[in-house]
């Protein structure tokens, strides 16, 4: 008999667990998220770096260290299988003095202990390895296995693949309780009713402490939000470091990174501000934080573009558990409850490895004899995009479907065909509400220098047509595009 599994939280961790569980005959998986879409929590707003694993101390956090290194290796495979935008440029941990160099040397030692390949110190060569490095840097720890992914697109791709392999997604479903009977979990109470489950996997990110308490375990466990602010520059600025740049970490933070994202934008960030526990939705940016990012960025880079070339800034919240310790545990009491909580950095990197670890934990703890699904499909193909294709290739695409020649997003060169297909895919994974933001993050339409001023309504019109929703009711992120037709207020607010 199949075990019914409810995975709470469709972030990168929950989605990865769902995907890995979907490989086996033993599980029937439902993936729950409170948002209208997947990956809208901590997974969306981060540095997008796949860390090599040389910053993890195996003495202090053995599981974290192991899963980080393994996650880095697994991502290489996952991005191929799932057609996720990624680059593997390597990273430079810059130091600015002999004294700092000595602190940095420790990371070469950690790399050795963790089995991270290729990590080494470089000195004056650093400026040749990466010409955008600030001349003040005297050297760097070079970690060649560091990579970059598009984190949101990664989650979307993982979920698409998981659903293809039998996982059911329930978005806009908020968990309100974990039902336990006779010492065993039997399901979760949600905003949309009861979801029966033999196993409940808590991957609720920032809110995983609350879910754990609902199950009656780890009652002292508290997750604090740590806010990070980021700046994103116009892709047309010439400052484009090939490698990932960052300073030598402090106990609080890995510091501000400078990366050229997989979509070609210079990104600086994050800051690290610990917020009170109740501010788990506080995604505010601040002038103070953004100035700090600019300042720290200028320590990394030879040149920082002017502030008026910034096209967007945003903040993300990282879930910070006590002592930075991940809480990954399968419980006897209640039987069937699994915490995958407090997954702070390097959570994105480790996610595929965490999923494997959770699988073993479940198999071991609950005595599941795993049996692979012969039909399991490891592959997912991304939406064919016009961007990056030669004119000849685009011509071929247009011959097959004229919508490839209808450019909706001018900045990022995204065609109508891509948006139409993305809307279809969003509906196919089970999203009842297709949001403009969901389309934007999947296709990059609206993420260019004009920030959607020429295409947001175009995207909304396509969604409106595809889903039969009136234009003003199309959801942008969480609210409607408008409040009614243009005469609604003159009629006293009543809809027509």
Partner 1 sequence: MSEVTLTCVVCPAACELKVLSLPSGEIRVEGAGCARGVEYAKQEVLDPRRVVITVVKVKGGDLPVVSVKTSQRVPKSRIAEIMRATAEVVADAPVEIGQVVAVCPGGVELVATRRVKASADQRAQGGLRENAGQHVLKVE
Partner 2 sequence: MLETKLDLVVVGGGPAGIAAASKACELGMKVGLVENREVLGGIPLQCVHTGFGVHVFGEDLTGPEFVYRLIDRLQRADVGLFLKSHVHSIELKAFDEKIVTVLSPKGVQRLYAKAVVFSTGARERTAFEIGVTGERPDGVYTAGEAQTLMDLYGLMPGRRVVIIGSGDVGLIMARRFALEGAEVKAVIEVLPYPGGSMRNVVSCLRDFGIPLYLSHRVVSIRGGKRVEKVVVAKVDEEMRPVPGTEFEVECDTVVVAAGLRPNVELLEKMGAALDPATGGPVVNETLETTVPGVFAAGNALVINDLVDYAVEQGERAAEGAHEFVSNRSGSVAWKRVVKGRNVRLIVPHYVSGERDVVFYARVKSPERRVFFELLGSDLKLYQQGVRPSEMIRLRAPSSAISNLGDRLVFQVRPLE
Residues that bind partner 2 (CB under 8 A): 236, 281, 283-287, 290, 307-308, 310-314, 386, 391-392, 394-395, 398-399, 402-403, 405-407, 410-411, 413, 449-454, 456-457, 461, 471-472, 475-490, 493
For residue 382 the two structure tokens come to: 């991304």
Least Å from the CB of residue 483 to partner 1: 14
> Closer CB to partner 2, residue 276 or residue 391?
391
Residue (101 or 471) nearer to partner 1, CB: 471
Nearer to partner 2 by C-beta: 234 or 296? 234
106, burial (CB in 10 Å: exposed 0-12, middle 13-18, buried 19+): middle
Catalytic residue, from 51, 54, 246, 263: name it: 51
Neighbours of 182 (CB within 10 A): 7
HSE on the CB side for 495, CA within 13 Å? 6
Q: Which residues pair with 28 in a beta bridge?
A: 4
Contacts of 125 by beta carbon, 8 Å cutoff, 6+ apart: none
What would the x/- binding string for partner 1 be over residues 477 to 496, using CB under 8 A?
--------xxx--xx-----
**Site map for partner 1, 171-200, x if CB under 8 A?**
------------------------------
Cβ at position 169, least distance to partner 2 in Å: 22
Instruction: Tell which phi-psi region holds residue 53, choosing left (phi > 0), alpha (psi between -120 and 50) or beta.
Output: left
How many angstroms separate the CA atoms of 259 and 240, rounded?
A: 8
Identity of the residue, 58 or 482, whose beta carbon is nearer to partner 2 in the bound complex: 482
Close Cβ partners of 303 (under 8 Å, ≥ 6 residues apart): 132, 239
Query: Which partner from the list partner 1, partner 2, none does 357 bind, CB cut-off 5 to 8 Å by kind?
Result: none
Nearer to partner 1, 369 or 487 (CB): 487
What's the min distance (Å) between Cβ of 175 and partner 1? 40
Distances (CA, A) of 284 to 38, 224, 229, 232: 21, 16, 8, 16
Closest CA to 199 of 350, 358, 312: 358
* Residue 137 interaction partner, one of partner 1, partner 2, none, beta carbon < 5-8 Å per kind: none
Shortest distance (Å) from residue 481 CB to partner 1? 14
Answer yes or no: 51 catalytic: yes
First to last CA, the chain: 53
Based on CB atoms, which residue is closest to partner 1, 323 or 487?
487
Q: What is the CA radius of gyration of the chain?
A: 23
Residue 217 CB, nearest distance to partner 2 (Å)?
30
**β-bridge mates for residue 148, sequence order:** 49, 87
What is the smallest separation between the CB atom of 305 and partner 2, expressed in angstroms?
13
Decide: is 277 part of the binding site for partner 1 (CB under 8 A).
Answer: no
Q: How far is CA 261 from the centre of its chain?
A: 13
Is 318:345 a contact under the CB 8 Å cutoff? yes
Interface residues toward partner 1, by CB under 8 A: 485-487, 490-491
Which residues are known catalytic residues?
51
């Amino acid at each position: 008999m199949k075990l019914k599994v409810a995975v709470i939280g469709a972030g990168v961790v929950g989605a990865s667990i769902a995907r890995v569980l979907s490989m086996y005959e033993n599980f029937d998986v439902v993936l729950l998220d409170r948002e209208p879409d997947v990956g809208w929590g901590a997974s969306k707003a981060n540095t997008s770096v796949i860390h090599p694993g040389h910053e993890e101390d195996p003495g202090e956090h053995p599981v974290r260290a192991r899963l980080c290194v393994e996650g880095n290796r697994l991502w290489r495979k996952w991005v191929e299988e799932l057609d996720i935008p990624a680059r593997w440029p390597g990273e430079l941990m810059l130091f600015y003095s002999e004294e700092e160099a000595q602190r940095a040397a420790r990371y070469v030692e950690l790399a050795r202990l963790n089995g991270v390949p290729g990590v080494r110190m470089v000195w004056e060569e650093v400026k040749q390895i990466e010409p955008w490095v600030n001349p003040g840097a005297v050297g760097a720890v070079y970690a060649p296995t560091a990579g970059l992914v598009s984190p949101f697109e990664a989650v979307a791709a993982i979920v698409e693949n998981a659903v293809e392999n039998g996982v059911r997604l329930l978005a806009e479903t908020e968990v309100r309780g974990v039902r336990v009977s006779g010492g065993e979990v039997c399901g979760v109470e949600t905003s949309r009713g009861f979801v029966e489950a033999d196993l409940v996997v808590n991957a609720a990110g920032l809110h995983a402490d609350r879910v754990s308490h609902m199950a009656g375990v780890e009652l002292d466990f508290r997750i604090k939000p740590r806010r990070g602010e980021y700046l994103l520059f116009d892709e047309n600025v010439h400052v484009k470091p090939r490698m990932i740049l960052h300073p030598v970490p402090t106990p609080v933070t890995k510091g501000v990174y400078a990366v050229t994202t997989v979509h070609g934008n210079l990104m600086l960030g994050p800051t690290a501000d610990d917020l009170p526990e109740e501010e788990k939705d506080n995604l505010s940016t601040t002038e103070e934080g953004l100035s700090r990012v600019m300042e720290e960025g200028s320590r990394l880079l030879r040149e920082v573009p002017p502030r008026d070339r910034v096209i967007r800034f945003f903040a993300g919240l990282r879930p910070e558990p006590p002592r930075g310790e991940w809480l990954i545990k399968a419980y006897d009491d209640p039987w069937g409850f699994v915490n995958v909580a407090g997954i702070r950095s390097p959570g994105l990197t480790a996610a595929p490895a965490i999923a494997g670890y959770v699988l073993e934990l479940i198999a071991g703890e609950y005595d599941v004899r795993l049996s692979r699904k012969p039909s399991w499909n490891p592959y997912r193909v991304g939406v064919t995009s016009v961007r990056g294709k030669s004119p000849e290739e685009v011509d071929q695409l247009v011959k097959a479907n004229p919508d490839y020649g209808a450019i909706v997003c001018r900045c990022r060169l995204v065609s109508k065909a891509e948006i139409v297909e993305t809307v279809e895919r969003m509906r196919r994974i089970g999203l009842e509400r297709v949001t403009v933001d969901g389309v934007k993050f999947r296709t990059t339409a609206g993420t260019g220098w004009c920030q959607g001023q020429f295409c947001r309504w175009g995207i909304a019109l396509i969604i409106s047509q595809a889903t039969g929703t009136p234009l003003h009711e199309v959801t942008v992120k969480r609210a409607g595009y408008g409040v009614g037709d243009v005469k609604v207020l003159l009629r006293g607010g009543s809809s027509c």
